[in-house]
Copies of this chain bind each other. A is one copy, B any other.
Amino acid sequence: MAGSTLRDVARRAGVSIRTVSNVVNGSVPVSDELRVRVQAALDELDYRPNLVARNLRRGRSGMIALVVPELDVPYFAELAREVITAARAHHYVVMLDQTDGDGERERELLGRESRATMFDGLLLSPLSISADELRRRTNRVPVVLLGEHIFNGSFHHVAIDNVVAAREATEHLLGLGRRRIAAIGDQPYSTGETAQLRTTGYRQALERAGLTVDDELIVPTPRFHRHLGAQAMERLLALPEPPDAVFCYNDLLAIGAMHTLTRAGVRVPDDIAVVGVDGIQEGRYSSPSLTTVAPDKAAIARTAVSTLLGVIDGSAPVPTETKAPHRLVVRESTAGARTD
């Protein structure tokens, strides 16, 4: 029951511990005769290396942590999937934690008694923590930031170009002939940088089209959840002059918005076209299916993981700001065709 150790195997095979280790690792040549004998002992005792001990000796754990606000938000679940896959390609495993966007939890994560030291590095998708704090707390552990916040070059960072993504989404709506385009999801305060970038892109698109931005059409939401999208849409429908299209800052907001529209008998896209961001699977089977700006999550994950591993092995000391690709996926919610 209690796992056997190198010592047990060595005793059984009548060789030194070191020789068993050599057989297990295969790095140092071992004579055929001994190898066979040791291998037999390994099999009989069903030896499994104690990775904790190995890690201590090697100074590496082979584990990274991925910290996201909420794992049950599809975007993060899908991203986590890709991160796990990308990490596996480098023989790394991934510990997952979620902060619920709670700054306290984020801080605790990096604090004195945290488990952070167990990991070779951290992939962090911070919501509430400030750049200063992060800097103060991460002087030990290699960190790569994902998608959120701007930390003006002091951190490794992987994200899509949010301004461009938002501009393209809005331009797509303009291309349909819509002129009264709303935006759902602005976050005009210090930790809402991502949202603000999307607002910037939205404004750019309208201005380039020679339209004036109607601030009434920009509805802020504290988070990016379905029910907040639904609420925001209600507010927009109550306007004297409702919009004819909505750019939602993520797909969940868009799905919430479409929920409100469907209930209100407003046709999508005929009366109001809807576009989201994130490219989550849910949007492919919603009714109507959702047009979205889809970040290349696999690319984000691969880049983030390899950047992090670079920091870990010291080959990437200078913070890099990587822009990951995205593409517009057009579906029914902005298609010319009727929904039903």
Interface residues of A in 1-53 (CB under 8 A from B): 1, 3, 46, 48-53
Judged by a CB distance under 8 angstroms, whether A287 is at the interface is yes
Q: Which of A1, A61, A259, A287 has the most CB of B within 10 A?
A: A287
**Considering only CB atoms and an 8 Å cut-off, how many residues of chain A contact the other chain?**
57
Q: Does A150 contact B (CB under 8 A)?
A: no
Residue of B with least CB distance to A43? B112
* CB closest chain-B residue, reference A85: B98
Tell me which residues from 29 to 86 in chain A have a Cβ below 8 Å from any Cβ of chain B: 46, 48-53, 55-56, 61-63, 70-72, 74, 77-78, 80-81, 84
B48 pairs with A117, CB closer than 8 A: yes
Which residues A266-295 have CB closer than 8 A to chain B? 281-282, 284-287, 289
Query: Which of B55, B97, B230, B263 sits near A84, CB closer than 8 Å?
Result: B97
In the assembled complex, the CB of A265 is this many whole angstroms from the nearest CB of chain B, namely 6
Binds B, one of A88-96, A154-162, A182-190, A207-215: A88-96
Closest to A252 in B: B285
Residues of chain B lying within 8 A (CB to CB) of residue A282: 74, 282
User: Given B1, B52, B116, B281, which contacts A118 in the complex, CB threshold below 8 Å?
Assistant: B52
Chain B min CB distance to A77 (Å): 4
Q: Would you call A281 and B53 a contact (CB within 8 A)?
A: no
User: In the docked arrangement, what's the CA distance between A217 and B55, Å?
Assistant: 55
How does the 8 Å CB contact mask read for A97-124 relative to B, with 1 for contact and 0 for none?
1100000000000001111111000000
Copy total for this chain? 2
The answer to whether the Cβ of A166 comes within 8 Å of any Cβ in the partner chain is no
In the complex, what residues of B have CB within 8 A of residue A284's CB? 226
Whether A340 and B262, one on each chain, are in contact in the complex, defined by CB atoms closer than 8 angstroms, is yes
Contact A81–B93 (Cβ < 8 Å): no
A71 to chain B, nearest CB (A): 5
**C-alpha gap A119/B104 in the complex (Å):** 27
Cross-chain contact of A96 among B94, B113, B230, B262 (Cβ < 8 A):
B94
* Bound-state Cα–Cα, A84 to B105, Å: 13
A96 touches B95 (CB 8 A): yes
> Counting CB contacts under 8 A, is A246 at the interface?
no
By beta carbon, the residue of chain B nearest A340 is B265
CB distance from A215 to the nearest CB of B (A): 27
Q: How far is the CB of A79 from chain B (nearest CB, A)?
A: 9
Once the chains are docked, how many angstroms separate the CA of A1 from the CA of B1? 40
Q: Which 3 A-B pairs have the closest CB atoms?
A: A77-B77, A51-B118, A262-B287
Which residue numbers of A lie inside 8 Å of B, CB to CB? 1, 3, 46, 48-53, 55-56, 61-63, 70-72, 74, 77-78, 80-81, 84, 93-98, 112-118, 139-140, 226-227, 230, 255-256, 258-259, 262-263, 265, 281-282, 284-287, 289, 339-340
Q: Can you name 21 A-B residue pairings with CB atoms under 8 Å?
A: A3-B117, A48-B112, A48-B114, A50-B117, A51-B118, A52-B56, A62-B115, A63-B118, A71-B77, A72-B77, A72-B78, A74-B282, A77-B77, A77-B80, A84-B97, A230-B285, A255-B285, A258-B287, A259-B285, A259-B289, A286-B286
